[in-house]
Amino acid sequence: MATKTANVLARVEPDVKQQAEEIMSQLGIPVSVVINMLYKQIIMKKGIPFSLSLPSAPVTLDEMDEATFNSIMENSLKQAKNGESLNAEDVFNSIRKELANG
């Protein structure tokens, strides 16, 4: 016996829709299955199944005390000495990619 279904109509940005559907296609999962999974997670968790929060704004130098600034600088120096840093070109490429995906 076939399960009854209901339609969901939603407006989304075209580029967001395209990017998401490309990923779902690569995974072999139809959009309707993803929407159904989301709805089931909402029911199970009795809320949105992921965090909805505003990102914290970066702290400026003017808002920082000297001890905090020195701690950040010491940690950065330690990372650089341990080879845990990226070159500027890689950092800018990462930022550009993040901005493009938006």
Render pLDDT for 31-74 as a digit per residue (tens, 0 to 9): 999 999 999 999 999 999 988 887 788 888 888 899 999 999 99
For residues 95, 97, 98, 101, the Cα torsion angle rounded to the nearest 10 degrees is 160
- Return the higher-pLDDT residue of 2 and 77: 77
Alpha helices by DSSP H, 4-84: 14-27, 31-45, 66-81
The mean pLDDT of the chain is 89
Report how far residue 35's alpha carbon sits from residue 41's, in angstroms, rounded to the nearest whole number. 10
Of 42, 33, 27, the C-alpha closest to 8 is: 33
Note the pLDDT of residue 37: 95
For residue 17, pLDDT over 90 is answered with: yes
On whether the pTM is more than 0.75, the answer is: no
Report how far residue 19's alpha carbon sits from residue 93's, in angstroms, rounded to the nearest whole number. 20
